[in-house]
Amino acid sequence: MPANFPPIILASKSPRRQELLNLMGLAFKVELKDVDESYPSDLSPAEIAVYISEKKARAFTADGEIVITADTIVALNGEILGKPEDRKHAQEMLKKLSGSKHEVFTGVTLARGDQVHSFYDRTVVYCKAVTAAEIDFYIDNYKPFDKAGSYGVQDWWGIVVVERIEGSYTNVMGLPTEKLYNELLKFI
* Span 8-187 CATH architecture: Alpha-Beta Complex (3.90)
136 is catalytic: no
Cβ-based neighbours of 184, under 8 Å, separated by 6 or more? 3, 5, 66, 110
The catalytic residue among 36, 71, 121, 155 is 71
Amino acid letter for position 54: E
pLDDT per residue as tens, the chain (188 positions): 556 888 999 999 899 999 999 999 999 999 999 999 999 999 999 999 999 999 999 998 767 899 999 999 999 998 999 999 999 999 999 999 999 999 999 999 999 988 999 999 999 999 999 999 999 999 999 999 999 999 999 999 999 999 999 999 999 999 999 999 999 999 98
